[in-house]
Amino acid sequence: MKKPTQKPAQKTPAKPAGKSMKKAQNKTLKAETGRPMRKATEKLWSGRFNEATSADVEAFTESISFDQRLWRHDIQGSIAHARMLAAQRIITAKEAEAIIRGLDNIAADIRSGDFFFSRNLEDIHMNIESNLTARIGDPGKKLHTARSRNDQVALDLRLYLRDEIQSILSLIQRLEGTLISIAEQHDTVIMPGYTHLQRAQPVLLAHHLLAYVAMLDRDRDRFTDCLRRMDVLPLGACALSGTSLPTDRALVAKQLGFRAIALNSIDAVSDRDFAVEFLASSAIVIMHLSRFAEELVLWSTEEFRFIEISDRFTTGSSIMPQKKNPDVAELIRGKTGRVYGNLISLLTLMKGLPLAYNRDMQEDKLPVFDTADTVNACLAIMNGMLPAITFNAARMKATAGEGYSTATDLAEYLVKKGIPFREAHSITGRIVFHCIQNKAGLETLELSVLQSFSPVIAKDIYRVLDPSTSVSARTSYGGTSPAEVKRQIRYYRKLLKIK
């Protein structure tokens, strides 16, 4: 997948800091004037402080261990910001060039693993900015003009989520396509439809699978909708109230491809609705995946024997040699828990926070990252597993007719003969009761026995009680008849532009 390979932040550099880091330290030390030298990595906000931060506080407040994965988006935002500063003559074109070149070099170092993320520098924003100044000198100190980490982090998270949502959207779409092609390959397979996990009425397997396509399609809608509201530029709000410098937020929005600019600077830095919406949409899609995963687990039991999941997507037991377990499906079902937890975690984090930025909000990233990773992984593995499933059509068909699953067809037969539905329901119920007592199936009763319950029943009833007839007869819009199921397939093929 498209995930960058990122090194975790290290408490101590695994190898001596690369040349860029050594340069950084020297520059920082040289830049010191008048004040006692404290640390190689001087804080960017150290001016009003006399004492060094306690090491415990540094460890407690850092976010670089997890927000370093925002580096691409942080650099992307900084480049757009620098270009705007130059266009507005807040910095010179030469300074902007130096900044952009420096940021490009930082990106190259991070990509190749040659960048040392320092915990003393708290977060990704200050790690990059201070490294930039160490590399290019004075122009680096101008990058943070007319911006704050508050609008910067809001920007980074939006840019990050924009990418993640694009990836999730295409994975959902692929999964829909996979389900549709499985439905088409098995378009005549009949299975029992369930309510309360009791056999209810025969349905087409394709119909059942398409129910998941319907869910996934709503999920795509939700993420698209979430993306639209997220696609608003917060940068330029600065700490909370804007700036007296002549910035051009539209120019930044244009460079970063945002469709709009946050109208209220206080809202821009305190809003995390977009992240909550992302987690909520994720919670719903993973709920859908968990329902499907549960069915795959059930269907592959010896009790059901509806499917067999390929060896490539199952695992064995360390003690029971005969076992073949559906662990992938179980883990998808299981991971739903943390995705729900992440949603509740962010909602709770944001609850009651006064405006504008509060450091609490630093904790927004862990649930967001974890959810994005989990949902991407679950969608991808589900997509890999599904084509590797074999369906036991004979077993599905055999069980589809059991459990009086065509009782509703009998009741509807009586309705067609002019009997009010309530009465028809009651007559059929009595016939089913008779069958249970006599250990018979509806279709095995003699016509005379059936007629003793209702004289309108004729010989044509036996065709009605056949599961295939039952399925074909359900021609109401959206029903399980082959024609209606084909209509659904046509609808989604067109929608998803599948040829």
User: Which of 445, 440, 475 minimizes the C-alpha distance to 462?
Assistant: 445
Q: Indicate whether 63 belongs to the interface with ligand ARG (CB under 6 A).
A: yes
Q: Find the farthest-apart pair of alpha carbons in the chain and give their distance in angstroms, rounded.
A: 109
Q: If binding is defined by CB under 6 A, does position 95 make contact with ligand ARG?
A: no
**With contacts defined by CB under 6 A, how many residues of the chain interact with ligand ARG?**
10
Active-site residue, 282 included: no
Between 361 and 445, CB nearer to ligand ARG: 361
> How far is Cα 253 from Cα 158, in angstroms, rounded to an integer?
12
- Residue 359 binds to ligand ARG (criterion: CB under 6 A): yes
Closer of 67 and 109 to ligand ARG (Cβ):
67
Length of the chain: 499
Contact set for ligand ARG, span 120-139 (CB under 6 A): 123
- Cβ–Cβ < 8 Å for 326, 296: yes
Which runs of consecutive H residues, i.e. helices, occur in 321-477? 327-350, 365-385, 393-400, 407-416, 421-437, 447-453, 461-464, 467-473
| CA distance linking residue 75 with residue 80, whole number of Å | 9
Q: Give the span between the Cα atoms of 95 and 303, in whole angstroms.
A: 71
CB of 51 vs ligand ARG, minimal distance in Å: 18
Q: Tell me if 135 sits within 8 A of 24, measured CB to CB.
A: yes
What residues numbered 147-176 form the site for ligand ARG, per CB under 6 A? 149-150, 153
Q: Which is nearer to ligand ARG, 66 or 313 (CB)?
A: 66
Q: Which of 265, 290, 300, 362 binds ligand ARG (CB under 6 A)?
A: 362
- Toward ligand ARG, which CB reaches closer, 63 or 68? 63
Enter the tokens of residue 404: 């009086």
Least distance in angstroms from the C-beta of 58 to ligand ARG: 13
The residue among 123 and 231 lying less far from ligand ARG, judged by its C-beta, is: 123
Residues 6+ apart with CB under 8 A from 450: 431, 457, 461
Respond yes or no: is residue 196 known to be catalytic. Answer: yes
Choose among 103, 97, 80: nearest CA to 236: 80
Contact status: 70 vs ligand ARG (CB under 6 A): no
Three-state DSSP class for residue 419: coil
48 binds ligand ARG per the rule CB under 6 A = no
Tell me which of 54, 112, 196, 244 is the catalytic residue.
Answer: 196
CB of 46 to ligand ARG, least distance (A): 14
- Which residues of the chain form contacts with ligand ARG (CB under 6 A)? 63, 67, 123, 149-150, 153, 357, 359, 361-362
- The catalytic residues are 196, 317
